[in-house]
Structure 1
C-alpha cells in the first residue's frame, strides 16, 4: 500500500485556523482562508471533469492566484504543470503538447502569450480575473466536492520542465513524497520555528519558489510572496515584515546588499539560502564581513529543491561549501564509474526519497539519469575530508545567467533553424552582473548574407530573453575533435583571449 499522510493544508486549517498562511501585497490569508479559497477553486475546476492525474498547466506571475491553484490542484489530486512565463509561445506550445495538458490557466499579463501558444492545440484555456486576488474562475459554477482526506506520497504532484542537453526540455515528475522529505530534511538542517516567515521572491514556476509554498504549509509558517524580485522590497520584507528565511540566487543577493549599504540586517533574519549555481567567493566574503547569514545550497528540480545545504553553524567555517546532504539524502562523487576520494573532482550523484522517479514520457532519459538508485546529476564537485560538498561547475556546457539554466544545444537548435545558418555553437562567458552571458559562434552558408541583428531578431521570437546570445561572432568553421564533437573550450578560450597585436 502506498504511504499516506493527512492533507497538509486541511490539517493546518484545523490546527492553526487564524495563523497567517500567506501574505501577498496588502493581503493576508490565514490557513483557514487559504483552505477555503483552495476548496472553492477545486470545486469549480471539478465541473470541467478534472480529477486525479489530469495535467493542468498554469501560466501565472507570482501572486495569490498561483498560491491558491497549487493547493486547489492538490485537493483535486490533479498534476500541476507550472510554465515559465519568460518562454516564447513556441516553447510553451511544445511543453503543453508534450505533457498532454488538459487545461491552461493564465492571467491577464500572460493572456497574449497563452493565446499564441495554444493556437494550434485542442485544450481548454481559462483566464484569471485581473481584478481579483484569487483565481475565482467566475465563469464556472462550483459543485459539491469533498477533497480526499489523505495524500498518497507516491502520487505525482507536479511536472516541472527543465532544459536537457538534447535541446528539448524534460518534464521532471515530483511526487508528494519528494516534497515531504525535502521539507523535513530542510527543517532538520535549518531548524524550525513556528514564527518563521519564508520570503518567496523566486518565480513560483521554479522549484526554488514552489517549494516555499509547500514547506510553509507543512511547517505551519507564513509565506511572504512577492510578485517579482525587487531588492528594496525584499529588504523591506526582512526589516518590517519579519522575514526570517530568504531564498535567492547570487545576482539577487548582490542587488539586495547594494541597496542595503552598510546597514546590518536585523537579527531576526536566520538564513539567506543561496542557490542557482556555485556562489562567487567575493560575494560570500562580503556577506561574512557584513554578518549576513548566507548559506550556500545545492539542488535541482530533480531533487525537489535542496539536496545539500550548509548548516548555519558551518557558514563561516566552511565558506564556499554547499554543505552536507540533507538527512534523507545520500550523496557521493563518482569518477569514471568509481567513488572518488576526498578532494577529487567528479560527478555528483544523489540518492534518496527527495529524488524524482523520472521524466514524463522519457523512459530513455529516466534510465540514463537514474542508475542503480542514484541520480547522475552531470554536475561536477568534490567532497572535503569532512564530507562537505563543493560544487565546481553545474555542467560542462551549462550556462547559468542570472540563476536561469541555459543549455547550449537548445540555443544552437534555434540558430541552426535560420535558413542562412550552416552551423552554430554556444558557450557561456563570464559576466560581472549575471554570472554568465550567452555567446554564439555561427557559420553562414556559402553564398548567403546574414547580419547579427537579423539573426537575433529571428531568435527573439523563439527563445526566452535570458537564452538570447549577448555576444555573436561569424566564423568560417567550428573547432571539432576527431569524432566531430565541437570543442567548446577552444571557442571559449578564443573568446576570452586578448587580441594578438599585429
Structure 2
C-alpha cells in the first residue's frame, strides 16, 4: 500500500492503493481489501486505485474505487503539461491530497516535466495564509485548487504573486462571480473540467485567456475527445480513461467497466462545440417541484453568488439542497452556519432572483456543513444531519 509520502513508480507493474489515511480504520480496511480482491480477480498490473469523491455514498466503506493505469496517468499528465507549457523551470505548489487524482496528477506532471513540487499544506491541511506564504517564498509558478480554496484566497483579499503563471481550478463548479473576484486580484485561474475516471482534467481554459477578465471557454485537451449522446449526457473518450470500478455492496464486492466501445458516459449534461466543452450540470441535479422542472446546481450557484456579493466568506457557510415533499415531490431548503439576520439577507437576495416554486420553504441552522478533504459538501452526511 502506498503512503501519502511515497513516490509513485510510474514504470513498474506494481499496483498501488491510495486511500485517505484519515478514514476510520474499519472503512479504510474495507476499501483496501476491496482493491486487493478486484485487482487479483482482474489480474491488473501497473494500476493505481483511487476513491471517487464519495459525496453521495451512504458510508465511506461503500465509496466507489477507480482503477487507473499508470499509462493513463502519464497520458493525462503529458497533455496537461503541453497545455500549460510546463518545463523543468516550473515549481508546483501542492495542496491537493496524494490520494486524490488532482494531487497525484500534479506529482506525475512534475516528474514527466522535471519540475519541482513544493507542499503548501500546513500540518497536512489547507491553510490559505500558509499557502500564500509558500507561493511567495518558493516562487511557485503553477498550482491547482478547488473553488473552496479560491474562495479563501479571495476572502483574504490576497494579491497573486508575480511568479505565478497559472492555477488550474477544478473539483467543483467555479462560479463566474468568484472567477471575476479572483481575476481582479491577479490570480491566473483557469477553469477546468475533469474527474477521477479520466485521471484529472480533460478540458481547461487556455493560457491566452489570462489576458482577459471574461470567464473563458474550456477547450478539450490533446488526449481527449467528447460528444453529447441522444439523452444530452457528455460522453468521453481519452487515453487517460480508467480501467474499471470496484465497490463494496450489500451483496458483496463488485467490479465493472461501464465503457462502451471506448466511450465513457458521464453523469453530466452538456455540449461540445468546436472543441469547447459546455457543462450544464449533473443529471441528479434536475428535479421537479410541483411538476415544474429545475436544476439544483443552478439554484445553488445563484445562492452562492448572492452570498458572495454580501461577504466573500459567506458562500462557504450557506448552501441549499432539495428535500422530499409529500405535496410537491421536492422542495428547496437552505442550510446555514450564519446568524439569522445574515441568512435572511442572503435568502432575500436569492428569492428575488428565482421563480416562486424555487424559493426556499425551510431554513436549517447547523453547527457544521460536512465536507471532504477537497471541500466538497458530503450531501449524504448533510441530509442525515437534517
Per the normalisation by structure 1, the TM-score is: 0.53
- How is 1:26-105 mapped onto 2 (pairs within 5 angstroms)? 56=1, 58=3, 66-67=4-5, 69-71=6-8, 77-100=13-36
Q: Aligned pair in 2 of structure 1 residues 389, 318: CA closer, same or farther (>3 Å)? A: farther
- How is 1:241-252 mapped onto 2 (pairs within 5 angstroms)? 241-252=138-149
User: What is the aligned counterpart of 2:277 among 371, 376, 389?
Assistant: 389
| Bigger Rg, structure 1 or 2 | 1
> Contact 2:170/2:194 (CA < 8 Å) preserved in 1?
yes
Between the aligned partners of 1:303 and 1:436, the Cα distance in structure 2 is 31
Which residue is 1:466 aligned to? none
User: What is the aligned counterpart of 2:315 among 426, 433, 437?
Assistant: 433
Between the aligned partners of 1:282 and 1:164, the Cα distance in structure 2 is 24
Between the aligned partners of 2:360 and 2:320, the Cα distance in structure 1 is 17
Of 287-296 and 89-98, more deviation after overlay is shown by 89-98
> Contact 1:271/1:294 (CA < 8 Å) preserved in 2?
yes
Which residue is 1:292 aligned to? 187
- How is 1:42-191 mapped onto 2 (pairs within 5 angstroms)? 56=1, 58=3, 66-67=4-5, 69-71=6-8, 77-100=13-36, 155-162=45-52, 163=54, 167=58, 168-191=62-85
Q: What SS is found at the alignment partner of 1:100?
A: helix
Is 2:166 the partner of 1:271?
yes
> Contact 2:270/2:277 (CA < 8 Å) preserved in 1?
yes
User: What is the aligned counterpart of 1:219 among 93, 113, 117?
Assistant: 113
Which residue is 1:497 aligned to? 360
Shift of 1:243: 0.7
Of 427-436 and 252-261, more deviation after overlay is shown by 427-436
User: What is the aligned counterpart of 1:355 among 231, 241, 261?
Assistant: 241
Deviations 1:345-367 (A, max 9, x none): x3221101111122247998634
Q: Aligned pair in 2 of structure 1 residues 256, 317: CA closer, same or farther (>3 Å)? A: closer
Shift of 1:186: 0.5
Alignment root-mean-square deviation, CA: 3.5
Q: What SS is found at the alignment partner of 1:233?
A: helix
User: What is the aligned counterpart of 2:263 among 374, 380, 383?
Assistant: 374
> Contact 1:247/1:274 (CA < 8 Å) preserved in 2?
yes
Q: Aligned pair in 2 of structure 1 residues 327, 489: CA closer, same or farther (>3 Å)? A: farther
Deviations 1:196-216 (A, max 9, x none): 001111122111111111111
Between the aligned partners of 1:287 and 1:272, the Cα distance in structure 2 is 11
Shift of 1:266: 3.0
Q: Aligned pair in 2 of structure 1 residues 166, 257: CA closer, same or farther (>3 Å)? A: closer
Deviations 1:1-45 (A, max 9, x none): xxxxxxxxxxxxxxxxxxxxxxxxxxxxxxxxxxxxxxxxxxxxx
Q: Aligned pair in 2 of structure 1 residues 335, 267: CA closer, same or farther (>3 Å)? A: farther
Between the aligned partners of 2:22 and 2:317, the Cα distance in structure 1 is 19
Deviations 1:111-142 (A, max 9, x none): xxxxxxxxxxxxxxxxxxxxxxxxxxxxxxxx
Between the aligned partners of 1:171 and 1:82, the Cα distance in structure 2 is 10
Is 2:199 the partner of 1:304?
yes
Between the aligned partners of 1:260 and 1:200, the Cα distance in structure 2 is 21
Number of residue-to-residue matches in the alignment: 304
